Amino acid sequence: MQNIRIELQKAEQFLAPGSVEALQPQVKAAREALESGQCAGNDFLGWLHLPSSITPEFLAQIKACAQTLRENCDTIVVAGIGGSYLGARAVIDALANSFEWLTNQGENPNILFAGNNIGEDYLYELTEYLRGRKFGVINISKSGTTTETALAFRLLKKQCEEQRGKDVARQVIVAITDAKKGAARTTADKEGYTSFIIPDNVGGRFSVLTPVGLLPIACAGFDIDALIRGAQDMEQLCGCETPYEENPAAQYAAVRNALYQSGKKIEILVNFQPKLHYMNEWWKQLYGESEGKDQKGIFPAAVDFSTDLHSMGQWIQEGERTIFETVISVIDQRHTLLFPHDDENLDGLNFLEGRRVDEVNKMAELGTQLAHVDGGVPNMRIVMPKLDEYYLGQLIYFFEVGCGVSGLVLGVNPFNQPGVEAYKKNMFALLGKPGYEAETEAIKSRL
Ligand code: PA5
């Protein structure tokens, strides 16, 4: 079995000789600090050996719950925000047939997402769509108090109970939350919902391999055993014992930090597969929330190519030279589609006759990489043999450990997110939430 691997040469060529080597001791120390727990945020290291600690019995429980939902629902709404939805969405989008949801005639329920915004029209249209459907809800919130999610869940719970009756609703609403605290836990216990626990020591953005990601992914019909196997193999490969030259996460952390120190402040994650759009979004949250603090941190941006070559491509080719790219390159496609012959050849594309669409995509990828390197953009390439559960498991764990190591090398606590609280405090003050009277008065005086 191959592993995902990382190509660095087209990034390292932009760096002063010795600059990556100089960071290697820090990378090693950071990886060892994660292992020994001697680092900032060490109460949130539960993700580090999560893959190898997952038992078949635990996976069987997740699969049994997913089976109940699949048997009783044509649609499942996953309510959650940030780390409580992006991982599941990334994996499901990467694996699902892009058009099955339009007909909803496949064997899998439609998986929809809510609780990740406060758009009134979005929620209204969702409730309209769900009218008359046999839908269930997976309510995911580690704190159990996140406003976006709680708001959506209140609407969904009410509609589910009205449409399906309280007894069925109790079977098709599942909670994934803290073991003891938070409103989601209180409601789950009172209503008798099936529930799963998000471990205390796993932060939201590192939680995709807990029930947070596993249950929705299993509900969508995908193989969570293979996902975990991939993560387990990457856990081994990115361990403390693996030398730098063989450890992709250590290499990624070293090179991106060296680029940052050389003035490349923005990392753009690139894919050439529309199915990876939400993997980009998951990655942005993972790295943005982990590293952007203390007035430091690489800004994580993302593009879908070749789509965005026709929008952001100009900026990347010729804009300010403060960027580097990390390209996720998928070698094998699931399907084969050959260009047909056309007698008239009005579009001039007969030179592609009989060739695969993916060959064109691969040449777009190579051509783009060479053009961007020529334009002064360092390029790393993460090579995935194919887009399946096993390699997505590898990719997820690779990015997680790369993030933990990178953040420590940068000198921040990668596992907290104090900055996220500021908007919440203002929003509650503006809405007049009980307990925020002083803040309400203070903020109103500023308007
Ligand atoms: O990574 C994080 O901790 C956050 O993005 C959370 O996942 C997000 O804010 C949702 O929080 P909760 O699961 O408590 O509703």
Closest CA to 414 of 288, 269, 244, 299: 288
Cα 140 to averaged position of ligand 1 atoms, centre (Å): 9
Distance CA 154, CA 127 (A): 12
Q: Could you tell me how many residues make up the chain?
A: 447
pLDDT, averaged across the chain: 96
Tens-place pLDDT, residues 302-349 = 999 999 999 999 999 999 999 999 999 999 999 999 999 999 999 999
**Contact in structure between 160 and 169 (CB atoms under 8 Å):** yes
pLDDT level of residue 421 (50, 70, 90 thresholds): confident
First vs last C-alpha separation in the chain:
61
**SS3 per residue for 344-377:** CCCCCCHHHCCCEHHHHHHHHHHHHHHHHHHCCC
pLDDT at position 104: 67
Between vectors from CA 165 to CA 162 and to CA 169, what angle results, nearest 5°?
95
Q: Residue 192 — φ and ψ, nearest 5°?
A: 75, 30
- State if residue 325 touches ligand 1 by the CB under 6 angstroms criterion: no
Residue 400: exposed, middle, or buried by beta-carbon count in 10 A (0-12, 13-18, 19+)? buried
pLDDT (0 to 100) of residue 239: 97
Distances (CA, A) of 263 to 96, 256, 267, 322, 324: 39, 11, 11, 6, 10
178 lines ligand 1 (CB under 6 A): no
- Choose which residue among 44, 81, 178 to substitute to test ligand 1 binding: the one with the highest number of ligand atoms within 8 A of its C-beta: 81
**205 CA: nearest ligand 1 atom:** 1
C-alpha distance from residue 208 to each of 211, 286, 366, 371 (Å): 7, 11, 31, 35
CB proximity list for 150: less than 8 A, separation 6 or greater: 115, 141, 183, 184
CB-ligand 1 contact for 416 (6 Å cutoff): no
Answer yes or no: 372 catalytic: no
DSSP 432: T
Percent over 70 (pLDDT), the chain: 99
Q: Pick from 50, 385, 433: which is nearest to 231 by CA?
A: 50
84 lines ligand 1 (CB under 6 A): yes
**Active-site residue identified among 107, 128, 241, 310:** 310
Residue 208, pLDDT above cutoff 90? yes
Q: What pLDDT, on a 0 to 100 scale, did the predictor assign at position 103?
A: 73
Decide: 87 in ligand 1 pocket, CB within 6 A: no
pLDDT at position 272, please? 98
Tell me, yes or no, if 289 is annotated catalytic: yes
- According to DSSP, residue 4 is labeled -
340-374 pLDDT, tens digit each: 999 999 999 999 999 999 999 999 999 999 999 99
pLDDT of residue 151: 97
Choosing from 424, 437, 441, 444, the catalytic residue is 424
Written as one letter, the residue type at 197 is I
Distance 100 CA to ligand 1 centre (A): 29
207: pLDDT strictly greater than 90: yes
Judge contact between 411 and 262, C-beta under 8 A.
no
Our answer on whether the CB atom of 142 is closer than 6 Å to any ligand 1 atom is yes
CA–CA separation, 228 and 216 (whole Å) = 14
Kindly state the DSSP code that residue 197 receives in the 8-state scheme: E
Q: In the predicted model, is pLDDT for residue 198 greater than 90?
A: yes
Write the Ramachandran bin of 369: left for phi over 0, alpha for psi from -120 to 50, otherwise beta: alpha
All residues at 6 or more sequence positions from 162 whose CB lies less than 8 Å from its CB, including other chains? none
Residue in this structure with the two tokens 């390699």, named with its chain if needed:
391
Tokens of 162: 């009205």
Mutate to test the pocket of ligand 1, among 146, 147, 206, 416 (most ligand atoms within 8 A of CB): 146
- pLDDT of 106 over the 80 cut: no
Q: Which of 91-100, 321-330, 382-391 has the lowest mean pLDDT?
A: 91-100
For the segment 153-177, what is each residue's pLDDT rounded down to a tens digit?
A: 999 999 999 999 999 999 999 999 9
The structure tokens listed for 347 are 């579009």
Phi, psi dihedrals of residue 43, rounded to the nearest 5°? -85, 5
Residues forming beta bridges with residue 148, ordered by sequence position: none
How does residue 402 score in pLDDT terms, banded at 50, 70 and 90? very high
The protein residue with its alpha carbon nearest to ligand 1, atom 5, reads 82
**DSSP collapsed to 3 states, 5-51:** EEECHHHHCCCCCCHHHHHHHHHHHHHHHHHHCCCCCHHHCCCCCHH
Q: Is 216 in the pocket of ligand 1 (CB under 6 A)?
A: no
Q: Looking at ligand 1, which atom is closest to the CA of residue 148?
A: 15
pLDDT of residue 320: 97
Is 424 part of the annotated catalytic residue set? yes
Residue 107, pLDDT score: 81
CB-CB contact of 118 with 155 (8 Å): no
- Residue of 43, 44, 84, 289 best suited for mutating to test ligand 1, as the one with most atoms within 8 Å of CB: 84
pLDDT in tens, 274-299: 999 999 999 999 999 999 999 999 99
Ligand 1 center from residue 291 Cα (angstroms)? 16
Using alpha carbons only, what angle is made at residue 205 by residues 86 and 330, rounded to the nearest 5 degrees? 55
- Edge-to-edge order in the sheet of strand 194-197: 110-114, 75-79, 135-141, 173-177, 194-197
Query: What is the distance in A from the centroid of ligand 1 to the CA of 144?
Result: 9
From the CB of 213, is ligand 1 less than 6 Å away?
Answer: no
> How far is the centre of ligand 1, averaged over its atoms, from the C-alpha of 211 (Å)?
14
Q: What is residue 353's predicted lDDT score, i.e. its pLDDT?
A: 97
Above pLDDT 90, what percent of the chain? 96
Cross-strand pairs, 299: 266
Tokens linked to 250: 């250590």
pLDDT at residue 93 is higher than 90? yes
Q: Which atom of ligand 1 is nearest to the CA of 81?
A: 10
pLDDT band at 13 (very low <50, low <70, confident <90, very high): very high
Nearest CA owner, ligand 1 atom 9: 82
Q: What mean pLDDT is predicted for residues 42-51?
A: 98
How many angstroms does the Cα of residue 387 sit away from the middle of ligand 1?
A: 27
**Catalytic residue (choose from 12, 289, 291, 400):** 289
140 CA closest ligand 1 atom index: 13
What's the pLDDT tens digit per position in 116-155?
999 999 999 999 999 999 999 999 999 999 999 999 999 9
